[in-house]
A and B are shown apart, each in its own frame.
Chain A
Amino acid sequence: MKNLYKKLKQKGLSKEQEETILKELAMPETHPQVVAAETQSKSFLSLYDFNDLDIFQSLKTPDKTLITSLQTLDDLLERDKKREEDGFPRRIRLGKYIKPGKDTKEKVVVVPSTTEPKFYHDDSVTEEQETTGGTGEGEEGEVIAEEQADPQEGEGEGQGAGKGSGGEHEMGTDVFDLGKILTEKFQLPNLKVKGRKVSKTKYQYELTDRNRGFGQVLEKKETMKKVVETNIQLGRIKPGEPVNPDELVISPRDLVYRILSKEKDFEAQCVVFFIRDYSGSMQGKPTETVVTQHLLIYSWLMYQYQNNVMARFILHDTDAKEVPDFYSYYKSQVAGGTNISPSYTLVNKIVTDEQLAKDNNIYIFHGTDGDDWEEDGQKAIEELKQMIGYASRVGITIAKNSWTSADSETVVEKYLNKSNLLKEKPTFIRMDTIVSEQVDEARIIEGIKKLISE
């Protein structure tokens, strides 16, 4: 990184540019992966988070799931739409919740959530860090515990599902649901699938379906359940009394088998590249904005392509690397300097090497705070031009961080505007600039519309 800095310095740098670079150089160079987000800060519970029911009798206030809620998600969204007609701001938000845990890959839970706005005191401006109580040995100033710092600390949780929720949902269905909601309720556009890129479907035979009465392999557990069910109905099993297996009646319909069946085999129709700037200057809000937006875009594409989406995740600081899953993409902590072009080069290299352009719709989304050590962006623009050649859409999100003023153009904006790409090829490349301090769910969705609309 230092070498790059020297090289750039020889070429000449503006004063501001140099300041930013030095600030990032002073930050740690490695990107630790964050673990154990769930164990985080139990110690900072407030006085009012304790209650008798939980402490004495383990009667927890149960987590809400869609199934147990009295109203369904559709009802709630319907009600929310009515609010707009009645002249009041919408209240339902979609909480996302990404389950930590690398082995299970990414898991996303959609929880409808809301807030009840009231006038509350806010200490966040004047207070540096929250304090709490403690007891035991030790001198003032002594460190008594430490944990991995979370890049989205505090803010990340706000968008999340709130305290302690987390039903057991699988990624696929929920991301799909989220995509559906985004499309229908927030009026995100439907995609026009390009004619020449039809899905290549073929059939395979697999032992996946269940059948009652006959089939290839007996499913013992399912069969047993059916047998018990039948016998309860016949009154042969009575609650509280011991069961005599000899007396149970087995109906032919109780036997459950696996049977060979025709399965569609899909191949990915859509490849989406998510590129995230994880340099030091992305600390906090900009990162949260980018990650949330990318999650929503991912969900939307999943719905649009009926789950046939292959996602590739790329992180960059001054170098670029590909990470295997959304979890690593989401959880890697910010550090280091910023250079954008290597990440674009990497995308182009993957597309060429794997010949992805031939059969796929390719989408590329990049989130950054708009800072680039390479001020003229020559290399980046060249790579972008190449991308536009094959991609259905390149969407660049500029989430400005707190120390960039809202009106001034960032480095990336400057060179993009100068290149005229945005004006010449609006079908292929879009840019959205967000001041991340002011971001909320509505603004993020607004941004997505801008990036993906026709």
Chain B
Amino acid sequence: MELISQHTKKIMEECKIRASAAGLVFADETLEYIVTNRDMLELSPKVMIPTLYDYWVHDVEVLREIGKYKLYPHNPYETVINSRPAISFYNDNNPDWLNIMIFYHVLGHIDFFQNNLLFQRTWNDDFVGQALADKRLIESLRSQHGRWVDYAIEFSRSIDNLVGYFETLPKKGFPEDMEPSEKVSFYFYIFLQEIKKVSELELFNEIDKYNKLVTQNPSQADEAFFAEVRIKYPEFIPVFEKNREKPKQECVDIMEYIRDNSPFLRKEENVWMRSVMNIVRNTALYFGPQMRTKIINEGWASFWHDELFRSDDRIKGNEVAYARLNAGVTSLSRIGLNPYAIGLRLIQHVEEQANKGKICTNFQLLKGIEERENFDQKTGKGREAIFNLRSDFSDFTLVNTFVTQDFTDEHDLFVVGQRINQQRGTKEYYIKSRKAEDYKEMLINTMIHPVKISVDERKTNDKNLYLVHEFENRQIYKPYIPDTLIGIEYLWGAPVQLETIEIVRTQTKPGEKAVFELRKILYTSKDGKVLKVNI
């Protein structure tokens, strides 16, 4: 890899001046490299981070098994990586006008990386430097422990998608005072529900009673309430105190839990594996925000490359070539989803709405089509609104908030379904729905949503790790469960159990409406063998 020429660097610097003038905010230092196809071969499995640790899976074709389950979340490739300074990659034969366009796009991404709140954790470190240190550590471990390092990497990676990304975000502006006190939470969540197992009615009555006290007299509510509790349940205080003595678990995800509590990793000869787990976990956390901002990040970068490029006088004579490429990138296709196109349209939509003052309750209450169309308070707050989008929104919040019927109608968007036409022996694509609700649901379903798995500490000890899958109407991809559990068992050094729910399609004849049944399943991995029972 070599740096771009001085001539091209000069173009980039001019782009920065114009982008800053337009309001983008980014660190002044950047690095631009020329990459060849050969470089790409090495860089692409490492998601463009040149210093990422070596691992044999990077040398093998990884089957994505498209079609079996669509949410195989792999880390997105970018032209620019979120490092300090930001590094971006270029083909060495790009014409100048194309470089200008890409530079603006890249600056859009850098601005996004450095200002969007989801990236907060990456603001203080340079990941490329960190990765290099990690890579060296792994190299030195490999010289001592051989292929066992690769097993440690493999099994850590098998749970690296379960990292508590949101839990690690600094709780900026989190309303701490909204949380009930420790004693209150314990009483309602654990004492009543799990220890006493009271009926729902009784539970609601208790909550009601408590709420009334709080409304009447917030400062003395707790005291008054627990005075009554003491009469009803004399054992409450001792139980509470006893539970309180247990050290509170600080772990935010199962990776951290295993790292800190595994009896196997506690052994002196295995302590090195903790460093490996850390490296894998930090790498996964680093990619967390990127995976959750694909639409908005590409939309933002596309918005700015278009905005800035068209007003750049250096491109004279290349307007047609630009228009053609830009259309290819940002046009909505007849069938298919393109994050650039959707993201760009959403940002433009928000800007336009905000310019007319439509982002307010009064507008939302309007029902008439004409009324809505003609609504214009000429507030001119569009730019401000999209800069807020850029700092505060993710893919989910952007889509969930702004994909409205106005938006889908404006761009003629619809959900495409497919079905087999038996007579013609073909697969048909048809317009399934034009409702904004359906379109929104389809978009949200294509987004990354990791499985939620937590440790049940009451059933966990040095001889057994008990994991619980929080069921969200979707089951876990079954063929991968045993191998993943075997990996976790290795890291825990003792049997591992996973409680999950499986969706079973009860036998129906082709053509009939499917009937589904939920089954509670317990997997147990012991001595490398995985058993499955209904519970």
Contact = CB atoms under 8 A, between A and B. Distances in A.
A7 interface: no
Contacts of A335: 425
B90 interface: yes
Interface string A64-81: 100011110000100100
Contact of B79 (A53, A68, A136, A155): A53
A48 B442 contact: no
A341 to B, nearest CB: 27
Nearest to B78: A52
B417 A76 contact: no
A155 B298 CA distance: 31
B20 interface: no
B416 A131 contact: yes
Contacts of A158: 63, 65, 67-68
A133 B416 contact: yes
Contacts of A408: none
A120 interface: yes
B342 interface: yes
A142 B431 contact: yes
A28 interface: yes
A47 B422 contact: no
Interface string B73-88: 1101111100000000
Interface stretch (A89-97, A258-266, A421-429): A89-97
Given A129-B418, A146-B429, A163-B66, A121 B79 contact: no
Interface in B215-250: none
A68 B68 contact: no
Main secondary structure of the interface of B (DSSP, over half): mixed
Contacts of A59: 35, 37, 40, 89, 91
Interface in A291-323: none
A134 interface: yes
Interface stretch (B124-132, B158-166, B269-277): B158-166
B196 interface: no
A274 to B, nearest CB: 23
Contact of A93 (B63, B94, B480, B490): B63
Interface string B395-430: 000000000000000011111111111111111111
A338 B60 CA distance: 41
A365 B325 CA distance: 53
A28 to B, nearest CB: 6
A125 B70 CA distance: 12
B60 A157 contact: no
Contact of B448 (A48, A114, A146, A153): A48
A163 B64 contact: yes
A126 interface: yes
B60 A147 contact: no
A118 B158 contact: yes
Given A30-B425, A123-B69, A162-B61, A61 B157 contact: no
Interface centre among A119, A155, A158 (most CB of B within 10 A): A119
B60 A114 contact: yes
A132 interface: yes
B35 A117 contact: no
Interface string A126-141: 1011111111111111
Contacts of A155: 67-68
A342 B417 CA distance: 40
Contact of B475 (A60, A89, A118, A121): A121
B184 interface: no
Interface stretch (A37-45, A194-202, A237-245): A37-45
A56 interface: yes
Interface in A325-339: 333, 335
A117 B160 CA distance: 11
Contacts of A162: 61-64
A57 interface: yes
B69 A122 contact: yes
Nearest to A92: B60
B521 to A, nearest CB: 13
Contact of B481 (A46, A60, A88, A119): A119
A165 B61 contact: yes
B316 interface: no
Given A27-B422, A133-B439, A48 B484 contact: no
A43 B333 CA distance: 9
Contact of A130 (B94, B160, B418): B418
A76 B482 CA distance: 22
B449 interface: yes
B56 A47 contact: no
Interface stretch (B97-105, B133-141, B203-211): B97-105
B288 interface: no
Given A70-B59, A123-B70, A57 B102 contact: yes
Interface residues of B, number: 123
B213 interface: no
Interface in B444-466: 445-449, 451, 453
Contacts of B64: 162-163
Given A47-B337, A131-B417, A154-B67, A56 B325 contact: yes
A190 to B, nearest CB: 28
B430 A88 contact: no
B30 to A, nearest CB: 15
Most buried by B among A28, A44, A121: A121
B184 to A, nearest CB: 34
A48 B63 contact: no
Contacts of A148: 425-427
A64 B101 CA distance: 30
Nearest to A111: B61
A154 B503 CA distance: 21
B430 A141 contact: yes
Contact of A52 (B79, B338, B479): B79
Given A52-B105, A117-B158, A134 B431 contact: yes
Contacts of A122: 68-69, 474-478
Contact of A149 (B425, B430, B453): B425
A259 to B, nearest CB: 38
Nearest to B60: A114
Contacts of B421: 146, 149
A137 B62 contact: no
B335 A132 contact: yes
B333 A134 contact: yes
Interface string B476-519: 11111111101100100000000000011101001000101000
A81 to B, nearest CB: 12
B56 A136 contact: no
Nearest to B420: A149
Contacts of A123: 69-71, 445, 474
Contacts of A128: 514
A235 interface: no
B423 A119 contact: no
Contact of A138 (B159, B291, B414): B414
Nearest to B146: A82
Contact of B446 (A46, A62, A93, A165): A46
Interface in B12-64: 35, 37, 40-41, 44, 56-57, 59-64
Given A46-B71, A120-B71, A146-B424, 11 more contacts: A47-B295, A48-B448, A54-B77, A88-B490, A113-B61, A132-B335, A132-B446, A135-B334, A141-B430, A148-B425, A155-B67
27 contacts: A23-B510, A42-B336, A43-B429, A46-B70, A46-B337, A48-B73, A48-B294, A53-B89, A57-B94, A59-B91, A61-B40, A61-B44, A64-B61, A113-B62, A118-B480, A119-B161, A126-B503, A129-B417, A131-B415, A134-B333, A134-B336, A136-B412, A140-B432, A141-B430, A148-B425, A157-B66, A403-B507
Interface of A: 23, 27-28, 30, 32, 42-48, 50-62, 64, 68-71, 76, 79, 82, 86-89, 92-93, 95, 111-126, 128-150, 153-155, 157-158, 161-163, 165, 333, 335, 403, 440
Query: Nearest 6 CB-CB pairs, A to B?
Result: A154-B67, A117-B480, A43-B336, A52-B79, A122-B477, A61-B44
